[in-house]
């Protein structure tokens, strides 16, 4: 697009460039270390660019101009000094001689002359909509002697990513001057079209402001999909105009997502390049809300969930309930709920659940007991759901359906026949094995493997009146076998806690053919909210979600194919501080000593220790 058609915005705090000597020592690296690491980034010879004022020359597009305004406002508001910078590991004295002191050198910046006066943005398609597969690539160039930052992108969403990269490269030189440290050239694009987190507002309510906070973190780390698990057995916080009584099962009148609030969240996300995929889990995890419409279309809602005998449990957690698959009213109500919400969320994908169905629950349904007595199986029942519900959903709205993998691959509740291949399956069990099997069978897959990506794992159990904790000694101390309280999960079914390194090291396409790899759409890290509300959501989500963000944006390996987890260390430590400064309540990953002493908190001094996969 011709620059003559660009819209000029002046007097926004931003970049002015001057060329000078950057470091006292030529070999020293730049301090800026944007996350996720761009696919290709090349820094020029040290020559810093100082910051003064900047104009935007870009197409007249509200999303683009608002994104630029946010980025440039962050320059001046944060006045950012990198809190964790990359540097080679220092030398240590050989054992047993006491170690020497760390060698610290202060980065020196010179005087700045000349100025960068503009950011020029060229976009090929300003009409592209935010949806699956939208082009998010961009280039960013600052050349020696130039007075402009040049950005190109296919769509405004690529340009938004360019702005967040630029935002992380603008730093304070230590004398209260904002700079970019050197000429730079970036050619960047994501590895996967689906890069996201999951928020669960069914177990505990998450306020609009905290939803905004998660979206802010996503935008900064280039995550583009917010999977919103809206309701569950415990509560129904979503306004449904067709059945207003459903919100009688919200925790309180203050803990309801009205249509207006939903629109606010959708709009806030879209302005930052984040899609929202809503989930209404069906036919399992169904009690609250649904029972206010018609209790006859539910099974086992009055049962004791664990039955004090796990062999006859009706749910994996309280409170129990599943939609009665053989009750015709089920399809009338689910169809209306789906249609209303499908109209509120503009994304072309909609998640309809499908996980964790329990045959014991259906023993409470006379219709289904009769079905089983006739020789039919649980798989046949699930197939009836697929054959009836899926066409009903598609009749209500033209959306691509997403389901949990259970409907195809569960050991005790998979459909006995065909599940349409155009349904996208979210894989959460058995890691690489399930990913392999689903893609082998031709399904598109979103990776959410619990062993690597569940952010709620490792916090212990939460159900009460649990005698398993009433143990004073380790009964297995003699043979070393882990038990509930000593060395095992302590009540967290997916223990241990998933560290940022665990997430980043996950090679989830390992062992797949090229055809299978093409079916992997990306990854989403879920944070289930049994032990999560506004007070802790950001600390449990961030900065670990940023490790996923880089994994699915540019991968976890360097140009030589080696794991670069150690290279990520200072980058993610610095990014955590940047999140906190930006209003996202990210948790600390290490003592602050580790930020200030690069690689001195590594387990191995050998910086190639990760080049080989552990057994």
3-state secondary structure of 110: coil
Instruction: Name the token pair of 292.
Output: 């206010």
Q: How far apart are CA 210 and CA 199, in angstroms?
A: 10
Instruction: Name the token pair of 170.
Output: 């603008």
Element (H, E) at 521: strand 520-527
3-state secondary structure of 121: strand
Q: Which of 214, 208, 347 is nearest to 277 (CA)?
A: 347
400-404/298-299 β-pairing: unpaired
User: Sign of the C-alpha dihedral, residues 264, 265, 268, 274?
Assistant: negative
Q: How far apart are CA 188 and CA 186, in angstroms?
A: 6
Q: Which residue has the tokens 């998933």?
A: 498
Catalytic residue among 28, 255, 332, 356: 356
Is the backbone peptide bond immediately before 496 cis, with ω within 30 degrees of 0? yes
Neighbouring CB atoms inside 10 A of 215's CB total 24
356 is catalytic: yes
Q: How far apart are CA 166 and CA 146, in angstroms?
A: 16
Q: How far is CA 307 from CA 296, 360, 428, 529, in A?
A: 22, 10, 26, 24
Q: Which of 91, 108, 84, 97 is nearest to 32 (CA)?
A: 84
Q: Which of 403, 408, 434, 428 is nearest to 516 (CA)?
A: 434
DSSP tag of 18: -
When computed from its CA atoms, the radius of gyration of the chain, rounded to whole angstroms, is 26
User: What φ, ψ does residue 359 adopt, rounded to 5°?
Assistant: -60, -30
Q: Which of 481, 369, 494 is nearest to 430 (CA)?
A: 494
Task: Spell out the residues 6+ positions from residue 311 whose beta carbon is closer than 8 angstroms to its own.
Answer: none
Longest distance between any two alpha carbons in the chain, whole Å: 86
Task: Spell out the residues 6+ positions from residue 584 whose beta carbon is closer than 8 angstroms to its own.
Answer: 213, 214, 216, 217, 220, 538, 542
Q: How far apart are CA 518 and CA 301, in angstroms?
A: 42
Which residues are catalytic, by number? Answer: 356
């Amino acid at each position: 697009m011709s620059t003559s058609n660009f819209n000029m915005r002046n007097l926004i705090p931003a970049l002015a460039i001057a060329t000078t000597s950057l470091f006292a020592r030529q070999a020293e690296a730049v301090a800026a270390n944007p996350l996720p690491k761009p696919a290709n980034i090349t820094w020029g010879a040290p020559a810093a660019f100082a910051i003064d004022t900047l104009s935007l020359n870009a197409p007249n597009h509200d999303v683009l101009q608002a994104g630029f305004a946010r980025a440039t406002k962050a320059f001046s508001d944060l006045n950012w000094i990198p809190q964790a910078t990359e540097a080679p590991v220092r030398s240590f004295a050989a054992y047993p001689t006491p170690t020497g002191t760390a060698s610290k050198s202060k980065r020196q910046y010179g005087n700045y002359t000349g100025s960068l006066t503009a950011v020029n943005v060229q976009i090929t398609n300003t009409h592209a909509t935010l949806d699956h597969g939208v082009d998010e690539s961009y280039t960013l160039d600052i050349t020696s002697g130039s007075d402009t930052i040049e950005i190109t992108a296919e769509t405004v969403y690529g340009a938004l990513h360019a702005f967040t990269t630029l935002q992380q490269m603008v730093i304070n030189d230590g004398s209260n001057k904002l700079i970019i440290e050197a000429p730079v050239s970036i050619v960047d694009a994501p590895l996967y079209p689906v890069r996201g987190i999951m928020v669960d507002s069914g177990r505990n309510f998450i306020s609009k402001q905290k939803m905004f906070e998660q979206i802010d973190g996503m935008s900064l780390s280039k995550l583009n999909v917010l999977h919103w698990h809206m309701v569950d057995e415990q509560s129904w916080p979503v306004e449904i105009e067709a059945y207003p009584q459903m919100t009688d099962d919200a925790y309180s009148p203050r803990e309801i997502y009205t249509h207006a609030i939903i629109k606010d969240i959708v709009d806030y996300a879209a302005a930052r390049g984040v899609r929202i995929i809503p989930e209404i889990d069906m036919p399992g995890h169904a009690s609250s809300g649904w029972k206010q419409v018609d209790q006859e279309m539910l099974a086992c809602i009055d049962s004791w969930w664990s039955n004090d005998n796990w062999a006859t449990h009706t749910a994996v957690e309280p409170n129990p309930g599943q939609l009665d698959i053989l009750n015709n009213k089920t399809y009338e109500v689910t169809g209306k709920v789906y249609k209303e919400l499908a109209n509120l969320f503009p994304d072309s994908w909609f998640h309809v659940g499908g996980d964790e169905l329990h045959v014991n629950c259906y023993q409470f349904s006379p219709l289904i007991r009769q079905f089983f007595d006739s020789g039919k199986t649980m798989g046949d029942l699930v197939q009836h759901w697929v054959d009836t519900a899926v066409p009903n959903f598609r009749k209500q709205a033209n959306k691509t359906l997403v389901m949990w993998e259970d409907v195809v691959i569960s050991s005790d509740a998979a459909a006995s026949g065909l599940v349409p291949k155009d349904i996208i399956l979210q894989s959460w069990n058995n890691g690489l094995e399930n990913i392999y099997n689903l893609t082998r069978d031709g399904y598109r897959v979103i990776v959410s493997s619990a062993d690597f990506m569940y952010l709620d794992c490792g916090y212990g159990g939460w159900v009460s009146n649990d005698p398993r904790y009433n143990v004073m000694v380790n009964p297995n101390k003699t043979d070393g076998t882990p038990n509930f309280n000593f060395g095992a999960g302590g009540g967290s079914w997916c223990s241990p806690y998933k560290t940022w390194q665990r997430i980043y090291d996950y090679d989830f396409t390992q062992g797949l053919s090229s055809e299978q790899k093409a079916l992997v759409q990306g990854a989403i890290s879920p944070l289930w909210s049994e032990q999560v509300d506004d007070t802790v959501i950001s600390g449990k989500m961030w900065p670990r979600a940023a490790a996923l963000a880089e994994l699915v944006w540019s991968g976890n390996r360097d140009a030589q194919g080696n794991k670069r987890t150690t290279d990520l260390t200072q980058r993610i430590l610095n990014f955590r501080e940047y999140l906190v400064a930006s209003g996202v309540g990210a948790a600390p990953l290490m003592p602050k000593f580790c930020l200030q002493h690069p690689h001195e908190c590594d387990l191995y001094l050998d910086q190639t220790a990760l080049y080989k996969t552990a057994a």
